[in-house]
């Protein structure tokens, strides 16, 4: 059994989760704490991949990053680098489709506590950076952690957009979902079943751990009160 799909999927999901966490938390913090023209439109655009079919997202990425697309042609001309049909394309697909989950969780977390707690820290002379790490981040951490787990699980299971932009190249862009699909397509049901059990186990473990961790912290909070 070739375990390349497992290692590739974990690598893609990990990179995508790290990128999504940075940008998702930053944007959620900025948007939730500010009012500006077009805020609702911007939020709707950020959440759009959540409701679009993966093939539509994949087509959009293929249009942007293809060799004739605005971004793809620029990368090809300047750096002789191509995104399409590489694992970098799979990373981009995972980032786009999983971003709404991180953003939604982070935005809800930043709105679930009293902002006056942060204001009190500012009045005591703390910098914005220090307030974020010592006040904002600890208060929002449970929701942020939930977003991270959901983001990783979504990135790990991405199929449609990945197939559109990265294609199916064994040992190069073959993630677990793609391995399952093409194993079934070729009649190799045992291999497909192996990967199905594997990805279900990973997803179930992640959600089970998140529920256990959330329940433990809720109980701790109740006891402290």
For residues 13-36, one letter each, b for 16 or more C-beta atoms within 10 angstroms of the residue's C-beta and e for the rest, the string is bebbbebbbeebbebbbebbeeee
In a domain, 83, yes or no: yes
In a domain, 126, yes or no: yes
113: pLDDT confidence band, cut at 50, 70 and 90? confident
Please compute the mean of the pLDDT values over residues 165-191 and round it to a whole number: 92
CA atoms within 13 A on the CB side of 63: 6
The count of structural domains within the chain is: 1
What pLDDT score does 63 carry?
93
The answer on pLDDT for 165 being more than 90 is yes
In a domain, 188, yes or no: no
The predicted-structure confidence for 119-159, as pLDDT tens digits, reads as follows 787 787 777 788 888 888 888 888 898 899 899 999 999 99
What pLDDT score does 135 carry?
84
Mean pLDDT of the chain: 87
The predicted-structure confidence for 211-221, as pLDDT tens digits, reads as follows 777 666 554 54
In a domain, 191, yes or no: no
Neighbours of 84 (CB within 10 A): 19
Name the 3-class secondary structure at 66: coil
Give the domain range for residue 100.
4-174
In a domain, 180, yes or no: no
What pLDDT score does 124 carry?
78
Q: Are 183 and 191 within 8 A, CB to CB?
A: yes
In a domain, 50, yes or no: yes
In a domain, 197, yes or no: no
Q: What is the CATH number of the domain that holds 98?
A: 1.10.3720.10
Please compute the mean of the pLDDT values over residues 50-73 and round it to a whole number: 92
Residue 85 CA to residue 203 CA, distance in Å, equals 26
Please compute the mean of the pLDDT values over residues 165-174 and round it to a whole number: 90
- What pTM does this model have? 0.88
In a domain, 116, yes or no: yes
What pLDDT score does 67 carry?
87
């Amino acid at each position: 059994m070739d375990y390349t799909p497992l290692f590739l999927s974990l690598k893609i999901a990990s990179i995508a989760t790290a990128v999504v966490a940075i940008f998702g938390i930053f944007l959620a913090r900025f948007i939730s704490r500010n009012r500006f023209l077009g805020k609702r439109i911007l939020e709707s655009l950020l959440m759009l991949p959540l409701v679009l079919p993966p093939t539509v997202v994949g087509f959009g990425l293929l249009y942007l990053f293809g060799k004739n697309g605005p971004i793809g042609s620029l990368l090809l001309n300047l750096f002789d680098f191509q995104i399409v049909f590489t694992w970098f394309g799979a990373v981009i697909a995972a980032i786009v489709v999983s971003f709404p989950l991180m953003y939604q969780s982070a935005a809800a977390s930043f709105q679930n506590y009293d902002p006056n707690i942060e204001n009190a820290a500012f009045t005591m002379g703390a910098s914005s950076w220090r307030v974020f790490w010592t006040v904002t981040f600890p208060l929002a951490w449970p929701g942020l952690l939930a977003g991270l787990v959901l983001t990783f699980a979504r990135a790990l299971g991405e199929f449609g957009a990945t197939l559109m932009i990265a294609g199916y190249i064994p040992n190069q862009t073959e993630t677990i979902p793609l391995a399952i699909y093409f194993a079934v397509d070729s009649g190799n049901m045992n291999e497909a079943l192996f990967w199905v059990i594997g990805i279900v186990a990973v997803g179930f473990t992640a959600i089970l751990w998140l529920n256990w961790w959330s329940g433990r912290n809720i109980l701790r909070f109740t006891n402290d009160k």
